[in-house]
Structures are given as structure tokens and as C-alpha cells.
Amino acid sequence: MTYKNCVQDFIDDGTAVTIWCHNPKCHHRGELDLLKLRDRIGPDHGMLFEEIKDYFRCSKCGGKQLGMTRHPLTGGKPNPHRVRG
């Protein structure tokens, strides 16, 4: 069964995902590469944080205390509020 909110749905809907680090001394964040993730876990994999969190760790501090936010891409235009980590 294919269910809503799988990796491919996010790609089709133009939903961007930011993963960020809960470590108070780090707070690293980065935009998730959904195409890479699809290659890795498959297009039908669920995108609930509980379902994907084990695939990630912070690239800066190595921490596993991560959070995830999702936000729509605005028609492919660069987002002026984007935070670069």
C-alpha cells in the first residue's frame, strides 16, 4: 500500500524538509536532499519523523537529537528567509 506523505509525495508536492540539531551547543541545520533520500530508502517510504530519524545524524556534532520541519517550496523561487547552516 502506498500511503500519503511518502518520499515521492514530498517531491511531487514540492515540499522541502529541514533537519536541525537539538544540541544547544550546535543548532546545525540543513535542508534534506529528498532525491538522495529517495535513492536510499525508496519512494514509498513514509516521511514521518519517527520513520526516517534513524537515517540521520548531525553532520556537525554527530548528535542523534534531531528535529524536522517541513515547508512548501514557493514555485521554485529562492527563499529569502532560508537559513544556511
Residues in contact with Zn ion by the rule CB under 5 A: 21, 23, 26, 28, 58, 60-61, 63
Minimum gap (Å) between residue 69 Cβ and Zn ion: 15
Of the pair 46, 63, the CB lying nearest Zn ion is at: 63
Element (H, E) at 41: helix 34-41
State the minimum distance, in angstroms, from the CB of residue 38 to Zn ion. Answer: 24
Which stretch of DSSP H or E encloses residue 17? strand 15-21
Does residue 18 come out as left (phi exceeding 0), alpha (psi in the -120 to 50 range) or beta? beta
- Closest to Zn ion by CB, 11 or 26: 26
| Shortest CB 63 distance to Zn ion, Å | 4
Q: What is the distance, to the nearest Å, from the Cα of residue 24 to the centroid of all Cα atoms in its chain?
A: 20
| Helices and strands counted in the chain (H then E) | 3, 3
Nearer to Zn ion, 28 or 53 (CB): 28
